[in-house]
Structure 1
Amino acid sequence: MSFGASHALDASVLVLNKFYMAVHVISVRRAFCLLFKDLAEVITLDDGRYASFDFQSWREVSEARARFKHPDDEFIRTVHFEIQVPRVVRLLAYDRLPRQKVKFNRRNIFARDGNRCQYCGKRFATSELSLDHVLPRSRGGLANWENIVCACLKCNVRKGGRTPWEANMRLIKEPIQPRTSPSLCLKLSHRRYQSWKTFLDNAYWSVELK
């Protein structure tokens, strides 16, 4: 299947395992490959009701929806038809459970701190931020969630190899390990990914059923 160039292909799709638990985020292109190979189905939630669609039925639904497009809807036009970008897909045979531990990496640290220097409080582009050890490595400071924060280059130089207290600098907030992926939380701030919330809300999975 060949798709025309479209910014819609830059969007993300939430992937559920066969038990409807969120396990991954993939590209739109990858999602359509899974649908076309009958390895996944599209999941929608309308008025509290789930609906599932294979590739063909999603194509038919897309044709109807194309007549009444919502501002947050995205469509991809092919040579022969127009199809809506799905927001959530479910793998039909994948039964592994989601990873509970959030990856400790640069992207998630920047996302956790909102690209804000944790000393001066100003927001910066990622290229203008560095990572600072609150307790310096020379003092035995570890590279973990509780000891690494975003810092602008100016504040990082000012702090040097000292603790914030020694440098007369105060942290905006105490660094902690996030319970859910910070980068996913950033995506949830966009309206087009609001449908993910049901599947990412811890309360949805932990509430006792009666």
Structure 2
Amino acid sequence: MQYIASLESSVLVLNKFFMALHIISAKRAFVLLCKETAEVVSVDEGKFNSYDFYGWKDVSLYKARSGLPEEDTTSWIKTVSFEIEVPKIIRLLFYDKHPQSNVKFNRRNIFARDENKCQYCGRRFPTMELSLDHIVPKAYNGKTTWTNIVCACTECNKLKGGRTPEEASMRLIRKPVKPRHSPILSLKLRSDRYRSWKQFLNEAYWSVPLK
């Protein structure tokens, strides 16, 4: 059995009404399962099955022992005494609030919106090698907003300095906009690993192409 570095795998969180809320790590998902504040929602051949932590542990044990064929998208965690599959979806049993309609303005979402690409040279970088650039610099009263902040690599950020792109003879590869939906969620939907999430999202997300 192949083990993927799984504790940081992404898990979709639903409220008690099966509405998508946000994405968390597998590590956080297992904490919620062990506290019995959430259950696993497994989509099998179009049917929904729910399991508490121990039920999911038994399902994982059965899969591991039966030699059932695995999907390439399956992640597992191995402990001293047992193996358990990382769920792709969990549901909060006591949370009835509706998802937020507004996308949070933060560093993580900006990187996701720009797909970790420097918006000046177009190359993709690890997050730790990217910074945020004010297109119109603060010195020129540039605002810290979706439409004035982009990802930039260290070299391009240094080259641009405290100037506008025009002053630095640099061009943006794409005009920044405020995303209508979670950029992180949109990126995840392009992967086969998270195809089952689609069933819990509204139709606005269904237009995102899946590989």
TM bracket (short chain): 0.7 to 0.9
Match of 1:8 among 1, 6, 9: 6
In the alignment, the residues of structure 2 paired with residue 130 and residue 168 of structure 1 have an alpha-carbon distance, to the nearest angstrom, of: 20
TM-score (norm 2): 0.81
Residue matched to 1:87: 88
1:88 Cα shift?
0.5
Match of 1:121 in 2: 122
Q: Kindly indicate whether residue 96 of structure 2 is the aligned counterpart of residue 98 of structure 1.
A: no
Rg larger in 1 or in 2?
1
Which residue is equivalent to 1:130? 131
Change (3 A) 1:58 1:103: same
List gaps (5 residues or longer) in structure 2.
Answer: 207-211
After superposition, the Cα gap between the structure-2 partners of 1:176 and 1:37, relative to the gap in structure 1 and judged at 3 Å, is same
Tell me, yes or no, if the aligned pair for 2:14 and 2:21 is still in contact at 8 Å: yes
Identity level (%): 57
1:157 alignment partner, SS class:
helix
Mark the CA change 1:30 to 1:149 in structure 2 (over 3 Å): closer, same or farther. closer
How many equivalent pairs are there?
201
Contact map agreement 2:11 2:90 (CA 8 A) in 1: yes
For residue 93 of structure 1, report the CA deviation from its aligned partner: 1.3
> Pick from 49, 52, 65: which aligns with 1:54?
52
What residue in structure 1 maps to residue 200 of structure 2? 199
List runs of 5+ in structure 1 lacking aligned partners: 206-210
Cα deviation for residue 144 of structure 1 reads 0.4
CA distance in 2, matches of 1:128, 1:80: 39
Q: Does the 8 Å CA contact 2:39/2:52 hold for their aligned counterparts? A: yes
- CA, structure 1 residues 114+162, in 2 after alignment: closer, same or farther (shift >3 Å)? same
Cα RMSD after superposing both structures:
2.6
Distance in structure 2 (CA, Å) of the matches to 1:108 and 1:204:
16
